[in-house]
Chains A and B, each alone.
Chain A
Amino acid sequence: MTEQKTIKFRVKRQDNPDAKPHWEEFHIPYRPYMNVILCLRETQKHPKTFDGTPTTPVAWESSCLEEVCGICTMVINGKVRQACSALVDQLGTEISVEPMRKFPVVRDLMVDRSFLFETLKKVRAWVQIDGTHALGPGPRVHPDVQKEGYWMSRCFSCGCCLDVCPQVNDRSDFVGAMAINQVRLFNSHPLGAMNSKDRLEALMGEGGIEDCGNSQNCIKACPKEIPLVTSIAEVNRQVTQYIFGFLKK
């Protein structure tokens, strides 16, 4: 007879941005194929800690549940990753969950990642099209170029790379690997390339590419295996060439 397994589920709680964090433990009946999302849902249906003390349901964000929206990023057993793809069968029955470390906590596991989107404005991560009206087909693209572009474009704004980067902290404005990869992506698009220099200039300023310390934590943490280190190296090369081109004048 198989014994009912119990998951010891510890959550680092924080009631609001100014409150002190504290840990709570929940005991959750195990079921096959469970993920951390289902563990968190148990705290909504049965908001009691393991010793029966009533508490509030854990606050966290989730949406797609299939690792394409990036919203459920949190630190699980010490590693920053998405909760939806964190399967109990792979984690074991002792699971600890905390909010991301480099973003301000809103409540419990909810953090404010607006910094991430602000960096996209800073590096002008868009194509400067003339307009949305009918202008006919764009340029032809070699399938190999598309493959490389597609692989870079899989970034789903989760923030893992920022969370593990030693240079991303409250003493610096470093934009992080994500924004630098976006610069490489847009600079490689035939129309996006027309505004390369705007993006490179953005990375030459405060919090730009010079702040990268080459720890290479980013590529280890990226759930989509985006070649972040290659992107940073490539953009570094573009910035250097741009500076030399400027100096020659």
Chain B
Amino acid sequence: MPNPKPKFIVVGGGLAGLMTVIKLAEAGHTVDLISMVACKRSHSVCAQGGINASVNTKGEGDSPWIHFEETILGGDFLANQPMVKDMCENAPSFIYMLDRMGVQFNRTAEGLIDFRRFGGTRFHRTAFAGATTGQQILYALDEQVRRFEADGKVTRYEGWEFLSAVIDDGGTARGIVAMNLSNFEIRAFRGDATVFATGGPGMIYGRSTNSMICTGSAAGALYQQGVFYGNGEFIQIHPTAIAGEDKNRLISEAVRGEGGRLWTMKDGKRWYFLEEWYPKYGNLVPRDIASRAIFKVVRELKLGIDGKDVVYLDISHIERKILDEKLGGIIEIYEKFMNEDPSKVPMRVFPSMHYSMGGIYINAKHMTNVPGIMAAGECDYQYHGANRLGANSLLSCIQGGLVTAASALEYASGLERGAEAAPSKMFDDQVKKEESKNDEFLRRRGKENPYQIWEEMGEEMTDKVTVVRYNDKLEQADKTLTALQARVKQVNVSDVSKWANQPLVFTRQLENMLDIARVITRGALARNESRGAHYKPDFPNRDDANWLKSTVAKFTPKGPELSYEAVDISLIKPRERKY
């Protein structure tokens, strides 16, 4: 082994990042963990419904193969299949591991881990801890990392943001440059392998179910440095969220898993439209199908409640005991922010941008096209194809952590020359470059306000690049985005200090967001078919002959350059996707 003491960096402290750190620390290695916020504040904390595993506690005949099949079908056959199969096979062991770590999974009467139904399946396959499963799992992993931290294996850099990778003349990444968000110290971190687990790009849509830290900025920065981005156009719009001026708050699919029913009024009567249109799966059709159905009801048939962008999600018929034990966290959110009790009145919901199936392009070993840079979690493009099934995200994060840590170890140990031996000059130069960039931002004295530009980007993306897509609108959106890119050069950040200067940080993120927004929009424009979450009324059918392939976007100064790659469909033959 040429490089026996490799150095590792993990950027991002959510489920995928923390799992990677744990696996590397367990193998005896030291890791630098970089996170914009204290890891317990990562967006994984917002996940509500649960995590899938075919443990078959209900004796329904569930199995990892069926889980795999349903995931591939749910993704409309765009996922590379062998990786998904591995994920489904490992899932039960993950649940047990999390249980042992202290996750408070709900229990059956006999004391076994309980499972509930979720979208796109008829099996009870989703393990859950009340309705705050994300927080439970995030905390359990964070606690394990703290244990390694106490032993000196992990150093946390919380309140630091990744700026750019340090790539040598041979095209290999040897580390990163990051900035302390309080004192604005910029420093280089040497790393043989850097794993990015930086989450989704919800902020690009202005209002989404994502947290404020989900900018996609790290992915955008990497993309500008030559890392490819896969399937950007595949954005999941979750059917049920509470529309808010600051955020669309998620109402988990778990609500429908426990019997919640979507309805609106038609001809003076309640119309349970999903139950009528999809007798077999009813309210638990996959998310893309549910969102399209709601859009049809509200926008096409003009049957929204009070004529607004609202339909009802009703749990008032469900026993209070079940609501408290299994959906407590969600009830709390609705009561707190809407001032209404969902056990008495139906909840007012509408679809919202929620998740990105697309992301940093990686191979089956979670390696990007730049040696030394890897990615895992929502920020990578694998596992979910054209549409993600509910409760598979938390699972793909754990699987991603597992695979990525092993790959990182294999790659880093095999390097002829480690990052430690790399010449200081390239690190120093990159630090200076980033410092100059900050200075340049501070010198911008235009009239634009970065937060207002962000709002405009969000409105445009939400209007033109969500559930229903038209080519002329996508062209318009791309033009708007390039105009916004020019306007960002004219901002005045309103704050000249180098101490906790949030507008400066935000403007840097905004530039990266705009790049990813263009990748999403141009990918959608080019793909003339409908598949999974990507729907064009002008091309309403799935077109396997021409489009069973992954979009791969490469940065050029003029905009994204798109190419395509075949999908590994070696295990299950594509068939019609009907629910």
Q: Which of B66-74, B131-139, B188-196, B467-475 contacts A (4 or more CB under 8 A)?
A: B131-139
Q: Establish whether residues B150 and A121, one from each chain, have CB atoms under 8 Å apart when the complex forms.
A: yes
- B22 at interface (Cβ–Cβ under 8 A)? yes
Which chain A positions have C-beta within 8 A of B246? Answer: 35, 37-38, 41, 65, 84
Say yes or no: A66-B249 contact (C-beta < 8 A), given A132-B23, A136-B96, A191-B100. Answer: yes
**B46 A135 Cβ-Cβ under 8 A:** no
B102 A34 Cβ-Cβ under 8 A: no
- Please tell me which one of the listed residues B42, B147, B332 contacts residue A126 in the complex, with CB atoms under 8 A apart: B147
The digit string for A126-149, where 1 denotes a CB below 8 A from any CB of B, is 111101101111101111001101
- Nearest A residue to B145 via CB reads A126
Asked if B449 is at the interface of the complex by the 8 Å CB criterion, the answer is yes
Residues in chain B near residue A41, CB distance under 8 A = 246, 451
Q: Which of A21-29, A54-62, A206-214 contacts B (4 or more CB under 8 A)?
A: A54-62
Interface magnitude class on chain A: 35 or more
**A117-B38, A142-B107 given; A16·B495 CB < 8 A:** no
Write out, one digit per residue, whether chain B residues 1-34 have a CB within 8 A of any chain A CB (1) or not (0): 0000000000000000000001100100000000
State how many angstroms separate the Cβ of B131 from the closest Cβ of chain A.
Answer: 10
Size class of the contact patch on chain B: 35 or more
Contact of B494 among A57, A138, A142 (CB under 8 A): A57
Q: Which residue of B lies closest to A186 (CB)?
A: B102
Is B370 among interface residues, defined by CB-CB distance under 8 A? no
Q: Are A66 and B500 in contact (CB under 8 A)?
A: no
Cα–Cα, bound, A143→B322 (Å): 13
Q: Measured between C-beta atoms, what is the minimum distance from A43 to chain B in Å?
A: 10
Contacting residues, chain A, for B97 (C-beta < 8 A)? 129, 132, 134-135
Option from B107, B337, B339, B495 in Cβ contact (under 8 Å) with A66: B337
Give the CA-CA distance A108 to B41 in the complex, in Å: 20
Question: Which among A56, A64, A107, A150 is the interface contact of B211 at CB below 8 angstroms?
Answer: A64
Min CB distance A103 to B, Å, is 12
Is the Cβ of A63 less than 8 Å from the Cβ of B495?
no
Residues of B within 8 A of A33 (CB): 244-245, 337
Bound: A26/B109 CA distance, A: 55
- B245–A45 contact, CB under 8 A? no
- Which residues of chain A are near B37, meaning CB under 8 Å? 61, 63, 69, 71
Q: How far is the CA of A62 from the CA of B211 in the complex (A)?
A: 8
With CB as the reference atom, state the residue of chain B lying closest to A89.
Answer: B339
* B93, closest chain A residue (CB): A134
Q: Does B143 contact A (CB under 8 A)?
A: yes
Contacts of B111 in A (CB 8 A): 140-143
* A141 pairs with B107, CB closer than 8 A: yes
Q: Is the CB of B494 within 8 A of A68?
A: no
**Residues 316 to 358 of chain B near chain A (Cβ within 8 Å):** 325, 329, 332-333, 336-337, 339
Which segment, of A92-100, A153-161, A231-239, faces chain B? A153-161
Known pairs A66-B337, A146-B104 / 16 extra A-B pairs, C-beta < 8 Å = A15-B497, A15-B499, A41-B451, A56-B494, A61-B37, A114-B158, A121-B149, A121-B150, A127-B144, A129-B100, A135-B100, A138-B96, A146-B107, A153-B139, A156-B135, A157-B38
Which B residues contact A (CB, under 8 angstroms)? Answer: 22-23, 26, 37-38, 40-43, 45-46, 93, 96-97, 99-102, 104-113, 129-130, 132, 134-136, 139-140, 143-144, 146-147, 149-150, 158, 182, 211-213, 244-247, 249-250, 325, 329, 332-333, 336-337, 339, 449, 451-452, 455, 494-495, 497, 499-500, 502-503
Q: List 24 A-B contacts (CB under 8 A).
A: A33-B337, A35-B246, A44-B502, A45-B455, A62-B212, A63-B37, A64-B211, A66-B46, A67-B332, A69-B211, A71-B41, A85-B337, A114-B38, A121-B150, A125-B143, A127-B102, A129-B97, A131-B26, A132-B144, A140-B111, A143-B106, A149-B104, A150-B106, A192-B102
